[in-house]
Chain A
Amino acid sequence: MIINRRTVEKLVRKFFFCTAAASVAILFMIMVFLFMEGLPILGKVSIKEFIFGQYWYPTSDPPDFGIFPLILASVSVMAVSSLISVPLGVMTAVYLAELASRKVGEIVKPMVELLAALPSVVIGFFGMVVVAPFLQETFNLATGLNLFNAALMLAFMSVPTICSLSEDAIYSVPTALKEASLALGATHWETIWRVVIPASLSGISTAVILGMSRAIGETMVVLMVAGGAAMIPASLFDPVRPMPASIAAEMAEAPFRGDHYYALFATGIVLFLFTLMFNIIADHIAYRYKQVGDSTL
């Protein structure tokens, strides 16, 4: 009996180990592939030329493989989108966790989460047919498909992430802390601002960074509404070509294992490094500033 039980334990452990190892191995192999297909471009251009080159003309003769406009496009779209999504997401989270009546919360919370379920192509479509003409007419622009439109659509996409993760963080602040603050004669608002938010700041920061990393990696929306011009944007309403859009749009046309192909994979590496950095920062904050509050004895 005992031996039998032990064997089962062992088998179970091995089975789960194999499953976990398989996922890790597959991910690792994808990463290896990404680097294998991307690094050869460095035989043509130096890292510096690739990253800081101002011109992206991969099909000209001779071609230019400078992805600086693409990086700048991704970063600026993400920055503008965070300016919209962070206040919106965090304030919604504060409202839902602290201020909303139970009834309102029960309606609003699933709706915000539903927003996360919207396929990105639908959001892109909305940006194309509703927001773009509106921007074009209101601001008298050459095109409504531009940096601002993309940022706005990406903001819609990251608000649910930011909001629901922040809400969890705020909600998990111990009641004891809130009561302590109220018992000292603090108002509800003072309690939220000076106790609840500081105590949940690490969770909120993680939420914000994960939301941003979702925005920078998003492809379909920027492909549809960013305008697609590989130029360094001069204003909020210039069309741009973020990295994911560039990869998605050009990959089909790039000759297999040609320079253009390698350059697109290398762009993928840069993008990967960006999201990796965001995730490491998020992890670090979550670990370093672990939510504290409940006093320890």
Chain B
Amino acid sequence: MAQELKMLSKHLNFYYGEAQALHDVSLDFNACEVTALIGPSGCGKSTYLRCLNRMNDLIPISRVDGKILLDEEDIYDPSVDVVMLRRRVGMVFQKPNPFPKTIFENIAYGLRVNGLRDHTSITKRVEESLKKAALWEEVKDRLHESALGLSGGQQQRLCIARALAVEPEVLLMDEPCSALDPIATQKIEELIHELKKSYTIIIVTHSMQQAARVSDKTAFFYMGKLIEVGETDTVFTRPKLRQTEDYITGRFG
């Protein structure tokens, strides 16, 4: 089942007004694999990630050209319903951003906006998602308390559970551990390992170690360009380009 192509971008350019933030990025993502996007701050990796679920549509002066295909369908095609796209391509943000609602409602929200009304199935899906996000045991007795009372790591797992509840096919993670302590980070990484069995995961990270630990493939971005991409082991041990090696070994960035 490995090596099945799930998503890819072809000659993707992205502009914020006049400034070009991404230059001709072509990248493939295999199903049930974790791809890490690394690079120094401002290199475009987050911008790239946000192109994949058209989150950048929210920026009024932005412009995209090139193609992004999800199951061979161009997601920037005018006929594509962006709401449907975002249901298929879920996202976890850099800072945990639970809604100021209860733990239960945080997850039920996505189900409800996706048209699920039946209370029994909502309850079932909430439990499943919390289990998948390895949070169930910690919160099962206080599902109806505010999500804001959880710790940062728990909040982030709640956000992952919330994303999983709507059963996306691809999961985008934008530095999901940058605001977390090492223990919470470890939990999230274990979770990513578990989740890649059923989801295609694309993760932006600032931590080389994290990229090395969780990903199958690594893509190195610099100044809005994709510099190098390959198997994580190869990229980290025998990078083809000097620039990649310098970054990975900490000589710049």
Contacts and interface: CB of A to CB of B under 8 A. Distances in A.
Given A176-B93, A195-B99, A295-B155, A184 B109 contact: yes
Interface residues of A, number: 24
B55 A184 contact: no
A102 interface: yes
Most buried by B among A199, A295, A296: A295
Interface in A277-297: 292-297
Interface stretch (A63-71, A131-139, A186-194, A222-230): A186-194
A184 B110 contact: yes
A181 B83 contact: no
Nearest to B149: A296
Contacts of A177: 97, 99-100
A204 to B, nearest CB: 14
B58 A184 contact: no
Nearest to B90: A183
Interface in A154-201: 174, 176-177, 179-187, 190, 194-195, 198-199
B27 interface: no
Contacts of B95: 176, 295, 297
19 contacts: A102-B60, A180-B93, A180-B162, A182-B86, A183-B163, A184-B87, A184-B109, A184-B113, A184-B163, A185-B110, A186-B83, A186-B113, A187-B113, A194-B109, A194-B113, A199-B100, A292-B100, A295-B97, A297-B179
B152 interface: yes
Contacts of B99: 177, 180-181, 195, 199
A297 B154 CA distance: 10
B84 interface: yes
B91 interface: yes
A295 B96 contact: yes
Contact of B86 (A185, A198, A293): A185
B148 A184 contact: no
The secondary structure that dominates the A interface is helix
B58 A182 contact: yes
A182 B99 CA distance: 12
Interface of B: 53, 55, 58, 60, 83-84, 86-87, 90-91, 93, 95-101, 109-110, 112-114, 148, 152, 155, 159, 162-163, 166, 179
A296 B148 contact: yes
A176 B97 contact: yes
Contact of B114 (A185, A194, A292): A185
Contacts of A190: 113
A297 B90 CA distance: 23
A180 to B, nearest CB: 5
B27 to A, nearest CB: 20
B72 to A, nearest CB: 21
Contact of B55 (A182, A195, A296, A297): A182
B93 A184 contact: no
Contacts of B159: 180
Contacts of A174: 97
Contacts of A295: 95-98, 148, 152, 155
Nearest to B147: A295
Contacts of A186: 83, 109-110, 113
A83 to B, nearest CB: 29
Nearest to B101: A198
A179 B92 CA distance: 10
A185 to B, nearest CB: 3
Contact of A297 (B91, B152, B166): B152
B179 A185 contact: no
Interface centre among A182, A185, A194, A195 (most CB of B within 10 A): A185
Nearest to A182: B86
